[in-house]
Amino acid sequence: MSRAALSAFGASPGAGVVIALPESSCGLVETARIANYLAREVAGQCGPCVNGLPRMAETLSDLARRRHRPGLVAEVERLARLVNKRQVPGRGACRHPDGTARLVLSGLRAFDADVQAHLAGRCLATEVAW
Amino acid sequence: MVTRLHVDWTACDGRGTCTELLEEVLVEDDWGFPTARDGSPQPVVPEGLEQAAQHAVDRCPLLALRLVRD
């Protein structure tokens, strides 16, 4: 779980929090839940973060709730890249928005099967409380 | 030597004066805050636009901009 070991996979420990998801849960729903939490934890100093994180989390939540509309996934990605376009510090005085955006983008990739199911109006998890 | 535009995000309030004065380099995001067209957090100021960039720095109502030279 070290930075060096994870970098070989293009990953990083981020905030260093590990959550073991039960098999019955939905990775996409849990990512949206965390994104909403992080959007509420902004310091409130910087416009791109104060505005961008809640909008990004809400859009991801629409996907988690299976409220499909055209371009939904692309919109989540666009909003994530507004705060952190590359693997470099983004538009803000701290790295909170960067970490949140990277979590969301990597979540969309890691839980791609869940994303596709949700776009089709289904969920692969057996027990979801949303 | 490269000149970059640095934004103090704790001061910026998204007034948009800079995006008007330096539209080749900056564009407004969904909420009026400046985003670099080249996607970087500290956009390079091209040669020939240095004066316009200095103008944008001088005119920011929140004094949120400065030019960085390295």
Interface membership of B17 toward A (CB under 8 Å):
no
B37 chain-A contacts, CB cut-off 8 A: none
Domains in chain B, CATH or no CATH each: 3-69 (3.30.70.20)
**Is B41's CB within 8 Å of A48's CB?**
no
ipTM confidence: 0.90
Mind listing the pLDDT tens digit of every residue in chain A (130 residues)? 888 998 888 778 888 888 899 888 899 999 999 999 999 999 999 999 999 999 999 999 999 999 989 999 999 999 998 887 665 668 999 999 999 999 999 999 999 999 999 999 999 997 665 6
Select the residue of B10, B31, B33 nearest A93 (Cβ to Cβ).
B10
pLDDT of residue A24: 86
What's the pLDDT tens digit per position in B14-39? Answer: 999 999 999 999 999 999 999 999 88
Interface membership of A88 toward B (CB under 8 Å):
yes
Interface membership of B14 toward A (CB under 8 Å):
yes
**Is B29's CB within 8 Å of A92's CB?**
no
pLDDT of residue A129: 58
Which tokens hold the place of A125? 């998890």
Mean pLDDT computed over B36-46: 91
Nearest residue of B to residue A85, measured between CA atoms? B39
Q: What is the pTM of this model?
A: 0.91
Interface membership of A116 toward B (CB under 8 Å):
no
Q: How many angstroms separate the CA atoms of A97 and A14, rounded?
A: 12
Residue in B55, B67, B61, B68 with CA at minimum distance from that of residue B14: B61
pLDDT of residue A88: 60
Interface membership of B67 toward A (CB under 8 Å):
no
Considering chain B, what percentage of its residues have pLDDT values greater than 90?
Answer: 90
What's the pLDDT tens digit per position in A108-126? Answer: 999 999 999 999 999 999 7
A89 chain-B contacts, CB cut-off 8 A: 41
Q: How many angstroms separate the CA atoms of B65 and B26, rounded?
A: 12
pLDDT of residue A128: 60
Interface membership of B39 toward A (CB under 8 Å):
yes
